[in-house]
Structures are given as C-alpha cells and as structure tokens.
Structure 1
Amino acid sequence: MPTPQQYLQYLFNADDWEDFTVEWVHALGLWEGQPYLRVQRMGGAGDRGADVAACLTLQGTAGEWHCYQCKHYVKPLGQADAFPEMVKIFTAKVLDKYELPTRYVFVAPRIGTTLDRLLLNPPQLREEFLTAWDDDDSKLGAKLTPEAREAVGELARATDFSMFSAQNLDEIVRLHATTPHHVRRFPERLKPRPDADPAPKDQKEHEAVYVRKLLAAYNEKHGLSLQTLQQARETERVRRHFTRQREAFFHAEALRLFARDSVPDATYAAIETDLYDVVIEIEDRDYDLGHDRMDAVMDAAMAHQPNQHNVLAPVVRTKDLMGLCHHLANDDRLTWCKEELQ
C-alpha cells in the first residue's frame, strides 16, 4: 500500500494538496499552542501569492497572519519557483491587498536542495533574491509599473527574510496523522478500537429519554408501572432485556467516542444516518404494542450492514447498531409506544 507521502506526491492534484494543507495548518496552530482564529484557502486566480491564509487576529490579512504557499510539482521546488511567489506577496503589501505576513511557508512535496539551504540562511536568501531582482534581464516583477516595482524592491530590502521557510513532508504527515482527516485521506488501518466500558450502575443524565421510552414499552406490555432504572433492574420480567439495552447504548457511545478521535465527524454521522434511513420505515408501521415496534426496529438494525465504503464500517458491531437505535430514541428520532407518537 502506498505511504501517505507517496499519495501526496503522486496521487494528489493541486486542489487536493491545498485542501490537505488547510487541514494540516489547523493542526499546526493547535500544536504550537497558538490556534489560528481563521484558516482560509485563498488559492486560485487573484490569490496574490497566498494559497492558505492563517490569521492570528480578527483583522485577518489586515492584521498579523501567516501565509502558506502550496506548490504541488513533480519536480522539487526551486528558486525559480519560489522567487516569483515572494514577489507576489511583496506586491500585495505594496498595493495594500494584505499586510506582509509574519510567517511565509512554502508547502511542497519536495523542496530543492539549493532552496532548502537558502531558507535555512535568511541573509543569504535575501542576497540571492535581491541579486535576481536587480539583474538587468530579470523577469521578476516584469509586469509591474516602474513605481510599483521600485516599491517592491525597497520593501524586499527592508524585510527580514527569516519570515520565509519550508516544511518537511514527513513532519507535515506526522502532524496531519493526529487529525481526524488523516484516515479519510489515506487508506490506512484504523487504530485498534478499545473495548466498551460496562454500563454504569447508576443512570447517567444523558440516558433519561431512551430509558423513559424503554420503561413505557415494558409498562404497556407487562402491565407494570416502572418509573426508574432501579425498578427495571429489580423486575425479573424485564431485567435481562433492560440490561442488554443499556449495554448496547454504551457500546454505541464507545463507538461515537472512538470515531470522534479517529475520523471526521461526518464519517460517524453517515453510519448513524444510514441506519436511521433503514429503521425509520420499520418504526413508522402500525404495531399493537410499543415493545413490538422496538423489537422490529432492533431486528432491522441487527440485519443492517454499514456502507463498506465508510472507513468506520469494519469496527461497527451488532451491539453498536442496537445501541444507535437507543441513541436515536434518546434524540427523539425514534419512539416505541403509540401514545408518545401522537
């Protein structure tokens, strides 16, 4: 299986690369302890040298911000690629389009050796840039008016070139792997899913709705008047069934927490939505008893196969699907007894 680095270099296109960079930049801000207030993809015509803008203040690019310049080339990124981009960001400042960023990072699958060494030596980088800029045959800024070109040159001479840097691809991948986006981007195995914790002895606050609906189904079927979890636990006719339903609820809760830390939110939401689309047709039918309705929904859930294109599908268990039905009931999207449907 290709590595993430190989996917990035050979299978991603320029748009994919910019989207990937946005995900990485969000993680970078968190990792550095200075979360960006806004990360905006700017690439395209008129971006003026800023593919991704990461803003540290509410002023956006009119305040302090960092520029991430995305270059997805087959060949390593060299000076001939970098210098024109640097001209663009200087020009944007001269034309009052952006403030000059305090950090400007080239994000490319491969950085050429010469450029990489220059970026590690800001004074030499500045010297090389200005030499290329002042060359009589230079094409840098050739489309600028003489006044604008002179202003860009003055700005470059007054700028600390330590603002320019590049990021190593392995480091980018390593940090991106800490995000939920990584497993969606790259077909790697999910990390092992831990076992679900047992259902707690006492009812948790967030269990109130689905427990109430379970008790209503038991009361209707068996002529009982259960009102609390403890009463259900002490009633032999329902105790075993009730215990299994709570176990299923917390299995689904464990799946939700695992998904939260492993995949994008939409991945888990798709599992839940696909199940709901199946069981709502079953729940909507007429039944003599609410318990019968619940049994029919659970049968459908146990027979349901999650979409195999969903990266979570391999770790979804039958008990999760049963528990998800109780989560849906907890969210008032499913109900067992007819009285509660009216």
Structure 2
Amino acid sequence: MEDYARAVLTLDDAQLELFVRDWVSNKLGAYVEVCRFSGAKDLGRDVVGFLTESKHEGDWENYQCKQYAKRLPTDTAICELGKILYYSWKGDFTPPSKYFFVAPKGLNRNLETLIFNPSKLKSAVVDEWDKYCRYKIIENGDIPLSDELRLVLERFNYSSVTRIALEDMLSDPAAKKVLFKYFGADPGMSPRGIVPPAILDSESEYIRQLVGVYAEKESVIINNHEELDAFPQCKKNLTLQRERFFDADAFKRYYRDNTDAEVIDGFEEDIYHGVVDVFETVHPNGMDKVQSVMTQAAAIQTSGATAKYARVPVKQGICHHFVNDGKFKWIS
C-alpha cells in the first residue's frame, strides 16, 4: 500500500480528480451518479456523488481534491468551503450533505483541529469571512457577508465536513479497480465460489446438458437432475462440475469488480483457444468429451493479471460457462 501512496502523490491536480472520480464511482450503491466538475465554472465542486435522481436539487456529496506539495493550508480549505456555500446561496445547487477534503499530503494541524471541532470550523467560516472568503472566491471580486448569506453559512451542518486520509482511501475495497487502472496493482486472489444447494436458473443450461451426458452414459432416460439419486457416480460428478462452475463464477465477478473488463475477456479467450481443438475432436460419447476438455483446461497456462490466480477448477469451470453461453454443447 505504501508504494501506491507514493504513486498517488505523483498525480497532478487533474489526475487526482480523475482518480477520485473513478474511486467514488466504484462505491457500489452509494450514489445514483458521479460527476467531475473542473475548470473556472466548477463553483467549488470537484467530484460529486449524487444520492438521488434530483441531483443538485437533492442530497449530494462533494469530494474536494487538493494535490499540494505540503499539507493543505487552512486558508485554502476555508475558501473552498465558503465558495460552495456561497454558490448554494446563489441558487446554483443545494448545500452538500457531506463535504470531503481529499488531500494526499494531509491537512495542516490547524485545519484538522477545525474539522474535528465543527463549531470552531463554523466560526472560522462565518466570523472570519472577510479574512478567508470575501475577496478570494471570485477573482478581483468582493462578496460581503450579507444577512442572507450569513444565514446560509450558519445553517450549514459543519459536522458533515471531514477529511479522507490517503491510507483510508487506498484501503477501501472500491479503490482496488482504480489502483489496477492507474498503477497496474496486483488485484490479488479471488474468493472461492459458494455452491448453492438448489440448482439456479443461471446454471440451468449446462446442467441440462450434463444430465444428457449422464443419460447417454447409463443408457437410460434421465429427465432432470433430480433423478440422479439413482445414479450415485453421476450425482457425484455433477457436484464436482457445479463446484467448478461456481469457482469460475466467483473468479469472473471478482476480477470484473477489481480490474478492467479486458482482463476477464482475455482470460476467457485464453481458455477458449486452449480447449476448442479438443472440444471439436470427435469423441466416442459425451462423457469422454467433458473429461477430455476438463483435462485440457486444467493444463492451460493463461496470461495477464489473473495468470497466477487461475486455479484448475476455475479454468475448468469456465468451460461450463461457455456451455451456458451457447459457445459449446456437451451433447446435442
């Protein structure tokens, strides 16, 4: 993590905003939409997470990104907070429900004291408006503290202002995908799959075809997987194949969530090209085809970020995903 902390410190202002935008976007379920505002018309916003479809007319949270060579100074932070409250008073948006300072170098001691004491932060914004905000929000401008503006400043919930430490951001699971995108971070090993007791609709096609393979092997009619109780070896084999299927399913979901989509696409392409010739070979029966493909899949050396984490059951389980997707058929 320390290496990535140093890497984040090398980002410039725009890159930091993009990094934070991607990180916030990965916070699954937290926001209905995430937007980055930049340039002279950002009105004090950097990265915004909207909590409702009402966007700026409803609840929203602001991530103020500051890439400084030193700790974020008090005057800069107070001015930024004052700016966003000023434009909320002007009617451009509602005040943010939460306000985060994202400063990789951290905050100076005085600013941290203010943030951890909301009443003191409020006093700094309201009582010292002329010092921090009046002449700095608009270049060559003057924004005196009118009674109406003072009311907006006093009503704001200053306990909603906080800072996000670099180590907290980088340890957030939502940061894994961003660290991979920007710095090629190792995504780590995926969790093993959990096999549900009941057959799911999402696995029905490869299960149906395996039942056909077992029926051919036993030279009997087997209408569905529930009839496999009469054939213990076939039932045992089905249990094994389901373990492989759900290991592959967990693998795919983990790397889609923590890397680029191209990583899993490339992994599946490696498996497909590694087994397709064996699959298309004429086999004496369906069971021989399944076993031959499973043996071949186990031996494939995949490439890319997942290579060292692609366990044998995962590579074998991907073949069942191919059946589910219509690329392969275990039996016609």
Taking only the aligned residue pairs, the percentage that are identical comes to: 21
Distance 1:23 1:282 in 2: 40
- Structure 2 residue identity aligned to 1:105: F
Alignment partner, residue 264 of structure 1: 257
Match of 1:254 among 232, 247, 257: 247
Match of 2:97 among 95, 102, 108: 102
Alignment partner, residue 80 of structure 2: 85
Match of 1:53 among 48, 53, 63: 48
Confirm or deny: 8 A CA contact 2:78 2:133 kept in the other structure.
Answer: no
TM-score, length basis structure 1: 0.71
Instruction: Decide which moves more: 97-106 or 221-230.
Output: 221-230
Instruction: State yes or no: 1:64 paired with 2:59.
Output: yes
Q: Gaps spanning 5+ residues in structure 1: where? A: none
Change (3 A) 1:247 1:275: farther
Match of 1:73 among 68, 72, 87: 68
- Once the 2 structures are TM-superposed, how far is the Cα of residue 77 of structure 1 from its aligned partner? 0.7
- Structure 2 residue identity aligned to 1:208: S
- Structure 1 residue identity aligned to 2:221: S
- Once the 2 structures are TM-superposed, how far is the Cα of residue 24 of structure 1 from its aligned partner? 5.8
Distance 1:308 1:221 in 2: 38
Distance 1:58 1:137 in 2: 31
- Once the 2 structures are TM-superposed, how far is the Cα of residue 101 of structure 1 from its aligned partner? 1.7
Match of 1:208 among 204, 219, 226: 204
Instruction: State yes or no: 1:18 paired with 2:17.
Output: yes
Alignment partner, residue 315 of structure 1: 309
What are the Cα deviations for residues 177-201 of structure 1, in whole angstroms up to 9, with x where unaligned?
Answer: 477648747846747856x67896x
Change (3 A) 1:74 1:277: farther
- Structure 1 residue identity aligned to 2:80: E
- Once the 2 structures are TM-superposed, how far is the Cα of residue 243 of structure 1 from its aligned partner? 3.4
Change (3 A) 1:245 1:217: same
Confirm or deny: 8 A CA contact 1:207 1:330 kept in the other structure.
Answer: yes
Instruction: State yes or no: 1:227 paired with 2:223.
Output: yes
- Once the 2 structures are TM-superposed, how far is the Cα of residue 231 of structure 1 from its aligned partner? 5.6
- Once the 2 structures are TM-superposed, how far is the Cα of residue 111 of structure 1 from its aligned partner? 0.9
TM-score, length basis structure 2: 0.73
Match of 1:306 among 290, 302, 305: 302
Distance 1:247 1:183 in 2: 35
Distance 1:280 1:191 in 2: 24
Give me the CA root mean square deviation.
4.3
Q: Gaps spanning 5+ residues in structure 2: where? A: none
Match of 1:111 among 107, 112, 116: 107
Change (3 A) 1:298 1:48: same
Find the residue that maps to 2:326 and give its secondary structure. Answer: coil
